[in-house]
């Protein structure tokens, strides 16, 4: 009996050791980027031969690079990213939760057909059709507009699918009772469905947010004006300049990564929950 | 009265999203198919119907042949690597051990990094004087060319993409592993099955659905890889990383060849559908045995 216990403890120690080394490998590039965002760009490649503690921990860390971002197109790009992503999130949640509600709670002819439109749209990856869509958007005068940037992100088949699955779990009796009490369909949505669906709404928000924040090909094609240049595009532009200041580039990289990271860590629990109940597994 | 209210509700709740999906997903796909059958004059913008000429000339073009070969090779490398690593990570992290929650969070950190940002970071990692060679030198190993080396560039991109994606797929597999009832493991243990036997005979068959979901989802997302190629290698060196999405982009925007670019889009969609159906077919066959 005792030997089994000892073996178990040994197994756990081995697992921890293995996990620590794996996590270090995953973290190494990020740590290096972060530490170099805290020192002048002229020193980015100076602490690599040989590797020492200074490679990953700057002796005199400062936030100069972050402050300097304010005057660059990258700083503006990060603000543009925040604004467009926020708009995508607000409009996207309204659109997707509404559609999911109609498909889950309202009974009408053609419901199955319209749901298959949603499913069919899931099979067409957006990045693949971005190039044909651009000519349509240009024709409508949507180039270099915020509307042009956010429109493709607001109707998200995955978010609708996730919300609908969750909404289907809300008991019909509840809806019938409140209908008898005189609530109309708008009231049922706002008073019953939305308040009961927090986990699914968090999951859908994460999907909508990441779609827009991580987008690259669409904003590259549709908007590179001052107000519509998004963070990742500005970052790649800065990197391809002749003299690259990696202090600035890395400070921008850190900001562009930390914002979604915070949301993922907060939403992680809901996200796994909702994806494991949405039937995609 | 009730009818009218229902119609209003449908108009307000459902119509905008369905309209948006039709206009911004389904129509462009149809448009790609139609435009791929036309040739557009770069100067006059005039369109002439050419049937499958765009497809024929694409497949006769050596650069495009190379692109298709690279895209298929890439798919056969990156997808098994990512699914297998995600599975190993999920098996490691599914049961608690000291610091497991913290360490798991560190593994999923890179999910947050937008692909274009990751490519910019790794362009510095892969530089001849960058982090990767710094580590190799400190370990007493010889330095490598990475994205500058024709033989290594594709693998360098695969490593970067796996760094971003593997933690994400691990989360789905952990959720799947958690759904396997403990009683089954208990029964297997009583029958004398060790850890490896349990993994092969209990875990793997019961993990079929989440595993096939992850395989299909990685396949789709890896056919769409674009930003890393544009930022890290521009398809080079010597076409060794010329993936299909990048080729389409180049045709549309550098060559202004909308007809062939749209033919490329349609070929991409066909490749994805073929790969995914093949996986479903093989998985179903595997399950029947």
Q: Are residues A87 and A11 in the same domain?
A: no
Q: Which of A62, A86, A109 is the last residue of a domain?
A: A62
CATH code of the domain containing A258: 1.10.3720.10
Q: Are residues A82 and A193 in the same domain?
A: yes
> What is the tens place of the pLDDT at every residue in B107-159?
988 989 999 999 999 999 999 888 998 889 888 888 888 888 888 999 999 99
- Compute the nearest-CA separation of A95 from chain B (Å): 6
pTM of this structure: 0.87
> What is the tens place of the pLDDT at every residue in B160-175?
999 998 998 998 888 8
Q: Does domain B63-288 have CATH number 1.10.3720.10?
A: yes
Instruction: Look up tokens 């509600």; give the residue.
Output: A101
Residues 172-191 of A with CB under 8 A from B: 184-186, 189
Nearest CA in chain B to A230: B116
Q: Are residues A212 and A116 in the same domain?
A: yes
Number of domains in chain A: 2
pLDDT at B289 exceeding the cut of 80: no
- Give the confidence band of A92 by pLDDT, cuts at 50, 70, 90: very high
Across the interface, whether the CB atoms of B21 and A103 are under 8 A apart is answered no
Q: Chain B partners of A251 at a C-beta cutoff of 8 Å?
A: none
| Radius of gyration of chain B, Cα coordinates, nearest whole angstrom | 24
> What is the tens place of the pLDDT at every residue in A1-48?
456 778 778 888 888 899 999 999 999 999 999 998 999 878 778 877
Looking at the complex, does the CB of residue B278 fall below 8 Å from at least one CB of chain A? no
pLDDT at A272 exceeding the cut of 90: no
| Residue B145: predicted pLDDT | 86
Q: Chain B partners of A19 at a C-beta cutoff of 8 Å?
A: 92-93, 97, 99-100, 103-104
At residue A78, φ and ψ (nearest 5 deg) are -65, -40
Q: Which of A34, A62, A90 is the last residue of a domain?
A: A62
Q: pLDDT over 70 for what percent of chain B?
A: 98
CA-to-CA distance for B232 and B121, rounded, in angstroms? 10
Q: Are residues A181 and A231 in the same domain?
A: yes
Nearest CA in chain A to B179: A276
Looking at the complex, does the CB of residue B235 fall below 8 Å from at least one CB of chain A? no
Q: Are residues A77 and A44 in the same domain?
A: no
Where residue B141 falls (left for φ over 0; alpha for ψ -120 to 50; beta otherwise) is beta
Query: What's the half-sphere exposure (Cβ side, CA atoms, 13 Å) at B92?
Result: 26
Residues 123-152 of A with CB under 8 A from B: 123-129, 131-133, 135-136, 151-152
- At A102, list the tokens: 């109609």
- At A178, list the tokens: 């409140």
SS3 B172: helix
SS3 B48: strand
Q: Are residues A124 and A192 in the same domain?
A: yes
Nearest CA in chain B to A78: B117
Q: Are residues A75 and A176 in the same domain?
A: yes
Q: Which residue of A51, A117, A213 is in closest CB contact with B18?
A: A117
What's the CA dihedral at A141, A85, B262, B227 to 10 degrees?
130
Looking at the complex, does the CB of residue B255 fall below 8 Å from at least one CB of chain A? no
Segments making up each domain of chain B, as ranges: 63-288
Q: Are residues A155 and A25 in the same domain?
A: no
Q: Which residue of B114, B176, B231 is in closest CB contact with A281?
A: B176
Q: Are residues A58 and A118 in the same domain?
A: no
Q: Which residue of A102, A103, A256 is in closest CB contact with B117?
A: A256
Of the listed ranges A168-172, A216-220, B253-257, the one predicted with least confidence: B253-257
Q: Are residues A95 and A131 in the same domain?
A: yes
Give the residue numbers spanning the domain of A57. 2-62
Q: Which residue of B29, B131, B226 is in closest CB contact with A129?
A: B29
Q: Which of A13, A41, A62 is the last residue of a domain?
A: A62
Contact B122, A30 (CB under 8 A): no
Looking at the complex, does the CB of residue B32 fall below 8 Å from at least one CB of chain A? yes
Question: What is the interface pTM, i.e. ipTM, of the complex?
Answer: 0.86
> What is the average pLDDT across A245-259?
92
């Amino acid at each position: 009996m005792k030997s089994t216990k000892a073996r178990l403890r040994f197994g756990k120690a081995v697992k921890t050791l293995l996990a620590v080394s794996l996590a270090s490998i995953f973290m190494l590039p990020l740590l290096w980027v972060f530490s170099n965002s805290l020192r002048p760009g002229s020193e980015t490649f100076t602490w690599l031969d040989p590797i020492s503690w200074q490679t990953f921990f700057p002796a005199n860390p400062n936030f100069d690079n972050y402050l300097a971002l304010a005057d660059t197109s990258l700083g503006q790009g990060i603000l543009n990213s925040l604004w467009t992503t926020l708009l995508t999130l607000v409009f996207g949640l309204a659109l997707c939760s509404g559609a999911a509600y109609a498909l889950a709670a309202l009974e009408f002819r053609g419901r199955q057909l319209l749901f298959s439109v949603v499913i069919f749209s899931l099979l067409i990856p957006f990045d693949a059709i971005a190039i044909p869509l651009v000519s349509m958007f240009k024709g409508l005068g949507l180039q270099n507009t915020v509307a042009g940037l956010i429109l493709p992100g607001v109707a998200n088949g995955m978010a609708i699918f996730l919300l609908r699955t969750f909404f289907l779990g809300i008991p019909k009796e509840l809806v019938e009772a409140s209908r008898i009490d005189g609530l109309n369909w708008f009231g049922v949505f706002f008073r019953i469905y939305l308040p009961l669906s927090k986990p699914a709404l968090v999951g859908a928000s994460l999907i909508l947010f990441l779609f827009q924040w991580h987008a690259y090909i669409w904003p590259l094609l549709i908007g590179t004006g001052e107000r519509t240049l998004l963070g990742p595009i500005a970052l790649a532009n800065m990197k391809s300049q002749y003299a690259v200041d990696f202090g600035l580039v890395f400070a921008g990289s850190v900001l562009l990564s930390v914002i979604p990271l915070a949301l993922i860590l907060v939403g992680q629990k809901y996200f796994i929950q909702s994806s494991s109940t949405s039937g995609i597994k | 009265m009730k009818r009218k209210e229902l119609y209003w509700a449908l108009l307000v709740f459902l119509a905008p999203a369905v309209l948006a999906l039709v206009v911004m997903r389904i129509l462009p796909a149809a448009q790609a198919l139609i435009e791929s059958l036309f040739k557009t004059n770069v100067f006059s913008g005039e369109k002439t119907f050419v049937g499958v000429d765009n497809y024929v000339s694409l497949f006769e073009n050596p650069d495009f042949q190379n692109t298709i070969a690279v895209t298929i090779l890439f798919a056969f490398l990156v997808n098994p690597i990512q699914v297998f690593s995600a599975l190993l990570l999920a098996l490691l992290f599914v049961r608690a051990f000291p610091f497991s929650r913290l360490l798991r969070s560190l593994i999923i950190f890179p999910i947050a990094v937008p692909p274009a940002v990751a490519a910019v970071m790794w362009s510095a990692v892969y530089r001849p004087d960058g982090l990767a060679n710094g580590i190799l030198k400190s370990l007493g190993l010889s330095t490598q060319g990475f994205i500058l080396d024709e033989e290594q560039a594709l693998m360098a991109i695969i490593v970067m993409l796996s760094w971003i994606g593997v933690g994400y797929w691990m989360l789905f597999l952990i959720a799947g592993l958690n759904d396997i009832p403990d009683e089954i493991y208990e029964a297997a243990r009583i029958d004398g099955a060790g850890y490896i036997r349990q993994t092969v005979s209990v875990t793997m068959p019961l993990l079929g659905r989440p595993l096939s979901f992850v395989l299909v989802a990685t396949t789709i997302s890896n056919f769409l890889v674009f930003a890393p190629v544009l930022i890290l290698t521009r398809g080079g060196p010597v076409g060794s990383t010329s993936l299909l999405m990048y080729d389409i982009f180049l045709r549309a925007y550098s060559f202004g060849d909308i007809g062939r670019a749209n033919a490329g889009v349609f070929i991409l969609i066909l490749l994805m559908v073929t790969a995914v159906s093949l996986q479903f077919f093989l998985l179903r066959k595997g399950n029947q045995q």
